[in-house]
Amino acid sequence: MLLRHTPTEIKERKALTVNPAKTCQPIGAMYASLGIHGCLPHSHGSQGCYAYHRSALTRHFKEPVAAATSAFTEGASVFGGQANLLQSIDNIFTVYNPDVIAVHTTCLSETIGDDIPQIVAKARADGKAPAGKYIIHANTPSYVGSHVTGYSNMVKAMVDYFSTSTGAKTKAVNLIPGFVEPSDMAEIQRIAEVMGVPYIMFPDTSKVLNGPLTGKYKMFPDGGTTIEDLHMTGDSKGTIALGRTCTMAAARALDSKCKVPCEILDLPIGLQGTDEFVDKLRLMAGVNVPDVLNLERGQLVDCISDWHQYLYGKRVGVVGDPDQVLALTRFLVSLDMKPVHIVSGSPAGKKYVKALEEVVADIGEEVNIKVPGDMLLFHQWIKNDPVDLIIGNTYCKYIAKDEDIPFVRHGFPIYDRMGHSYFSTMGYRGAMRLMEQILGVLMDRQDRDATDITMELVM
Amino acid sequence: MAEAAKDLSTEKVTLDNLDPEEVKARIMAKYPPKVARKRSKQFVINKVGEDGKTPVINANVRTVPGLMGQRGCCYAGCKGVVLGPTRDIINITHGPIGCGFYSWLTRRNQTDPESTPDGHNFMTYCFSTDMQDEEIIFGGEKKLKQAIQEAYDNFKPKAIAVFSTCPVGLIGDDVHSVCREMKEKLGINVFGFSCEGYKGVSQSAGHHIANNGIFKHVVGLDDTIKEGKYRINLLGEYNIGGDAFEIERIFDKCGITQVATYSGNSSIDAFANSHTADLNCIMCHRSINYVAEMMETKFGVPWIKVNFIGAHATAKSLRKIAQYFGEQELIDKVEEVIAEELPEVEAACAEVRPRTEGKRAMLFVGGSRAHHYQELFGELGMKTLSAGYEFGHRDDYEGRKVLPDIKVDADSRNIEELTIEKDPERFNPRISEERKAELEKAGFAFNDYDGMMPEMPDGAMVIDDLSQWETDQLIKIFKPDLFCAGIKEKYTVQKHGIPLKQLHSYDYGGPYAGFKGAINFYHEIDRMVNSRVWEYMKAPWDKNPELAATYACD
C-alpha cells in the first residue's frame, strides 16, 4: 500500500495539513507571468522558491521555464532584499534582455516587508532599467491563499501596470482565462476566432508552455500577450473572465480603472459551462454563433446521449483548484454522474461553497464538500464511502492505486502523463475529450472486471 | 628540469579544438564587469600539475541574483535531500504550504518499507503546518505544537522531525523548544531543524544542518551490534531509481553487511544504530562528510571515499573495502564477485561503445555526481568537455588537501559546527594505529577525497554554479552530444536539439549504480545520443525549399 497509514477514522485536524491539494502563491504568479510575451518572471525571495516553482512547472509542462531570483542570503533576510533585486534587474537586462520583468514576492520578502515599487523606482533612478523596458510586480505572500491567488494577483498586476484607456473603445473583447492549460487558452481563443470576435487574451501561455522543438531555444517564445495588447485592454468593449478565483480581481480592476464592463463566468468546462461562455461572448460582441460551433455542440450532445449508460449514476470524487472543481462538478452532474466527495485545496469563500452545494443539491446523495480541504481527508472519505471514479491531479494516483479506483488526471500538477498542455478539456470539443478520458477509464475497468462469460465486444 | 616545467606551463591547451581561455573570455564578456570578475573565479580552465594540484576554483559562494542558475535552498538540502528518504519518520514542514508541497515525492528516493519489521513508510505523505498570515503575525509555535499532536494522534509514528522554512526564522518561532516539549509529552523522538531557505548559499547548508541534527538527535541511541562480519555504513547514497538496492545486492553477495544507509532506503532505527559499524563509506562527499567526521571523532569509525557509479569504480571501491578489513576471505570473495559480474557489464559496454565512442558530454549537477558520472562516460569512450557542481565546495573540486586554505565566509559561518568529543565509553578505534599506517603506506587513503579536477584533462572547463547564459553559450559553441543536469535545465537544452540526461532524477530510469546500473546507463546513453528524434527538427520543405507554385491557368 502506498498510503498505508491513512486512517479510516476521520479525526478533525486544525493545524496539520496532510497531502495538500494546493501550493503557494508565487508559482501561480510565475505561471501567469509566462503568459506575457517577452517577460521574465522574477521571484523576490531565496533561490529555493524559484527552483521549486521552475521544477514544478517544468515537470508539468515538459517545457523550459525561464525565471530569475533575488537569491536572498541570511544577510538579505535581515537587511532587506533591495540590493539583491537591484543587482538582479541590472543583470537580467544586461544578459537576458526581456521586455518585461514580472516580480512576485515570497513569504520571505513579504515577512520582512520589502517594498517592490520603491526598489523598482530606485532601479530606474540608478539607470538599471533601460527606457522602454517594464518592471511590474505583484505581492504574493505564500501564507495567504494559494497558487490560484498568486495567479490572480499577477493577472491583476497586468491590468494595474498596463491597461490604459484612450477613450476610444475598440471592438475587442478581453478574455481572461484562469489557471488553466495552454491548450485551454488556445481553445478559448479558437472559439472566439470562429465566432469572428476580435479579442485580447491575457495572460496567454499557449505557444509558450507547449512550444515546438526546432533546434533553437528561445528564452522568450513566440507566444504570450504582447505589451501592446495589454495596453489596449483598457479600450476593449468588454471583458469575459473565466474562473472566478483566478480572474475576478483583474476583471473588476479593469472595470474600475478603464470602465471596461465585465462578465465573470465559470470555466467553460462541459456543455453548460461552454454554453454560457459562447452565449455571453455572442451578446457582448454582437455576433451570431457560427455553424461550426453549433456542430460541435451537437456532437457533444450526441456523445452524451450515446454513452450515457456508462456514466449514469457513477459516483465520483473530485479534488483540485476551486474554479476547475466547480466547473467539473457541474459537468459531471449534467452527465447524471454523482460527485459525492469534493475537495478544493484552496480557500474560495462561502459564496463558492454555496455555488458548489447548489450544483449537487439534486443528485440524491449526501455530498461531502470541504473548501479548503486536503487529500488526506479526501482519501478518508473514499475509504469510508468508495467511489467509481477519481478526478484530480497526479498525486491522486496513490489513492487510486491503493483503493483500485479508475482515475482521470485533471488540474495541476500533472507530472506523469502527456496531453494536458496540447489537448484542451474546455469548450465543446474539450468536453468530448474529457468524456473520452472518463469513459476510457470506466470502460477499461468494466473490461478488466468482466468474466469470460460477460465480456462485451460492442459497448 | 626547471626548463621542462616551464615548457609544460606555457603549453597551449585546447578543448575540442578551441582555445578554452578564449571561449571563457567570450562568455564572460556579456556580464557587467563586477559579475564577470566574480564568475571568472568560478569558471576555471583545468590544468593538473604535480601531485594533482589544480587551479583554485571559487565555490560555495553566493549566487549572483538574476543570472538564473540551478541551485535550490537550504530547506531543500535538509528536508528534501538528506532527511526526505527516511521512510519511518513524519517530516513536518513548518511554514506556508509551498515548501512541503514541492518536496513531496519529487526526488524519486525508492524505499522498501518491508525491510523493517514495523513497515512504516511516510514518504508518500506530505505534512505541513500550512502557515497562514495570522501565524506570521502572532507566531506559529502553537500551531506547530498542535500539528505535532495531530500527526501523533493520526499516525502514531516513532519519530517526528520538523523543518523550518524562511518565515519561521524571521518571526522567531523556537521550533527546537517546541520539539523538546512534544518529545517529552509524546514519549517519541521529536526534533527540529533550523533549515530556513535563506541560510547558506545553496542546498549545501541544508545538508550540513541535516547531518548535525541526525547526529545530535539520533545517532548513538541504539548500541545493539548487528550481526555480520564486515559491517559498514554507506553514506551519501540516496537510492534514486534504486541505486542503493543494487549496491546492497552487491554487498550481500560479497558478505558485507550494511548497518545503515544515509539516507536512501533508510530507517531512523538504522541511523540510531549506525555508530556500531566498523567503516563509513562515503559516496556523495559533499552532502554527508560531516556525519562521517563526527562519527569518527566520537565513536572511532574511520571513513573512506567510495564510488559505485561505473563498473570499474564499483570494483575499485569493493576492493578498497576488502583491503580495509584485510581478511583474505573477504578479499577473495570480492574478487570472485567482480569476476562474476564484470563480463556481463563489459559485454554490454562493448556492444554499445562503437555508437558512443568519441561523443562529448557536459555535466553540471549536484556535489558529486558531476564527478562520478565521468567514470561511466569514460567507460563508454565519451569525453567530458566541461563539468561543474551546483552546490559543491572547493574540496569537491580540488580535493580535501585544500581544506586548510578555504576561507570561511559569513554565509558558512552561520551554519553551526558541532563540537564533538570522544565518547568516554563508546569510543572504539576500529583499527590500530599500526594497521592504519601500514594501509596508508600501501597507498590506502583514509578520510580523503581527491576531488573532480585532478581526474579531468587539462583544458576542460570546470564551472561552478553554472548560469543559464553560460549553459546557452556552451551549447552554441561546443554543440556537445549530451548535456547532464536537472529538470529545470532539461527542456531548455533539448530545445537546442541536444539531449539532456537528468542526473538528479535519472529521467525516471535507473538504477545506474553498481554493475547492473552501469549496464542500464550504457543503454540509456546509447538511446539518447543516437535517438532519431534529433533528425526530425527540419521539415522536408525546409530541407528543400524550392518554390512551389501553380500556373495561373490551373
Q: Where in chain A is the domain with CATH 3.40.50.1980?
A: 25-150, 173-292, 296-449
Three cell numbers written together for B473:
553559450
Q: Is B36 on the interface with A (CB under 8 A)?
A: no
CB-defined contacts A:B, below 8 A: 263
Q: How far is A15 from chain B (nearest CA, A)?
A: 5
Mark which residues 369-398 of A lie under 8 Å from B by CB: 376, 395, 398
Structure confidence by residue, pLDDT tens digits, A202-260: 999 999 999 999 999 999 999 999 999 999 999 999 999 999 999 999 999 999 999 99
Task: Give which of B79, B141, B154 to mutate to test A binding, by max A Cβ within 10 Å.
Answer: B154
- Nearest chain A residue to B28, by CA: A95
**Domains of chain B and CATH, by start:** 74-197 (3.40.50.1980), 230-355+402-441 (3.40.50.1980)
Q: What is the DSSP letter of A453?
A: T
Q: Which residues of A touch B95 (CB under 8 A)?
A: 107, 142
Q: How far is A70 from chain B (nearest CA, A)?
A: 5
B102, B200, B492: residue with CB nearest A52: B102
Task: Give which of A27, A95, A110, A208 to mutate to test B binding, by max B Cβ within 10 Å.
Answer: A95
- Catalytic site includes residue B107: yes
Task: Give which of A74, A77, A346, A395 to mutate to test B binding, by max B Cβ within 10 Å.
Answer: A74
Mark which residues 49-68 of B lie under 8 Å from A by CB: 62-68
CATH architecture of the domain formed by A296-449: 3-Layer(aba) Sandwich (3.40)
Q: What is the DSSP letter of B78?
A: I
Q: Is residue B8 over pLDDT 80?
A: no
Q: Is A112 on the interface with B (CB under 8 A)?
A: yes
Q: Is residue B9 over pLDDT 60?
A: no
Interatomic CA distance for residues B303 and B307, integer angstroms: 13
* pLDDT (0 to 100) of residue B550: 67
Q: Which residues of A touch B487 (CB under 8 A)?
A: 55, 58-59
Interatomic CA distance for residues A267 and A245, integer angstroms: 10
Which is nearest to A429 in space by CA: A232, B506, A437, A73? A437
Q: Is A210 on the interface with B (CB under 8 A)?
A: no
* pLDDT (0 to 100) of residue B530: 96
Of these residues, B107, B176, B312, B353, which one is catalytic? B107
* pLDDT (0 to 100) of residue B545: 74
Q: Is A402 on the interface with B (CB under 8 A)?
A: no
* pLDDT (0 to 100) of residue B11: 67
- Catalytic site includes residue B437: no
Contact: A51, B72; criterion CB under 8 Å: yes
* pLDDT (0 to 100) of residue B554: 53
Instruction: Please list the residues that pair with B303 across neighbouring strands.
Output: B280
Of these residues, B59, B73, B78, B322, which one is catalytic? B73
Three cell numbers written together for B345:
557489464
Mark which residues 248-277 of B lie under 8 Å from A by CB: none
Q: Tell me the average pLDDT across B199-226.
A: 97
In this prediction, residue B4 has a pLDDT band, given cuts at 50, 70 and 90, of very low
Q: Is A106 on the interface with B (CB under 8 A)?
A: yes
Q: Which residues of B touch A73 (CB under 8 A)?
A: 62, 198, 200-201, 411
- Nearest chain A residue to B103, by CA: A52
Instruction: Please list the residues that pair with B281 across neighbouring strands.
Output: B234, B304
Q: Is A194 on the interface with B (CB under 8 A)?
A: no
- Catalytic site includes residue B272: no
* pLDDT (0 to 100) of residue B100: 98
CATH topology (fold) of A173-292: Rossmann fold (3.40.50)
B63, B95, B196: residue with CB nearest A71: B63
DSSP letters, A84-149, are HHHHHHHHIIIII--SEEEEEE-HHHHHHT--HHHHHHHHHHTT-S-TT-EEEEE---TTSS-HHH
Q: Is A149 on the interface with B (CB under 8 A)?
A: no
* pLDDT (0 to 100) of residue B414: 86
Of these residues, B39, B59, B74, B76, which one is catalytic? B76
Q: Is the peptide bond before A305 cis (omega within 30 degrees of 0)?
A: no
Interatomic CA distance for residues A327 and A279, integer angstroms: 17
Q: What is the ipTM of this complex?
A: 0.98
Of these residues, B94, B108, B120, B207, which one is catalytic? B207
- Catalytic site includes residue B59: no
Q: Is residue B547 over pLDDT 90?
A: no
Q: Is A27 on the interface with B (CB under 8 A)?
A: yes
Q: Tell me the average pLDDT across B359-364.
A: 98
Q: Which residues of B touch A76 (CB under 8 A)?
A: 198
Q: What angle do CA A208, A211, A217 make, to 5 degrees?
A: 90
Instruction: Please list the residues that pair with B43 across neighbouring strands.
Output: B463
- Residue range A25-150, CATH number: 3.40.50.1980
Please, which residues have CB within 8 angstroms of residue B381's CB and are 6 or more apart in sequence?
Answer: B353, B356, B357, B358, B359
Q: Which residues of A touch B133 (CB under 8 A)?
A: 141, 143-144
Q: How far is A447 from chain B (nearest CA, A)?
A: 30
* pLDDT (0 to 100) of residue B546: 76
DSSP letters, B275-318, are GG-SEEEESSHHHHHHHHHHHHHHH---EEE---BSHHHHHHHH
Q: What is the DSSP letter of B274?
A: G
B74, B97, B197: residue with CB nearest A17: B97
- Nearest chain B residue to A347, by CA: B132
Q: Which residues of B touch A4 (CB under 8 A)?
A: 113, 119, 121
Low-confidence ranges of chain A (pLDDT < 50): none
Q: How far is A165 from chain B (nearest CA, A)?
A: 33
Q: Tell me the average pLDDT across B353-366.
A: 97
Q: Is B326 on the interface with A (CB under 8 A)?
A: no
Three cell numbers written together for B242:
534504486
The one-letter amino acid at A78? V
Q: Mutual orientation of helices B311-325 and B243-254 as an angle, nearest 10°?
A: 40
Q: Is A85 on the interface with B (CB under 8 A)?
A: yes
Q: How far is B188 from chain A (nearest CA, A)?
A: 18
The one-letter amino acid at A421? S
Q: How far is A367 from chain B (nearest CA, A)?
A: 24
Q: How far is A20 from chain B (nearest CA, A)?
A: 7
Three cell numbers written together for B467:
548560469
Q: Is A66 on the interface with B (CB under 8 A)?
A: yes
Q: Which residues of A touch B538 (CB under 8 A)?
A: 215
A17, A55, A94: residue with CB nearest B102: A55
Task: Give which of B30, B81, B488 to mutate to test A binding, by max A Cβ within 10 Å.
Answer: B488
Q: How far is A373 from chain B (nearest CA, A)?
A: 12
Contact: B488, A91; criterion CB under 8 Å: no
Structure confidence by residue, pLDDT tens digits, B62-114: 999 999 999 999 999 999 999 999 999 999 999 999 999 999 999 999 999 99
Task: Give which of B27, B39, B67, B97 to mutate to test A binding, by max A Cβ within 10 Å.
Answer: B97
DSSP letters, B159-212, are EEEEEE-HHHHHHT--HHHHHHHHHHHHSSEEEEE---TTSSSSHHHHHHHHHH
Q: Is residue B7 over pLDDT 60?
A: no
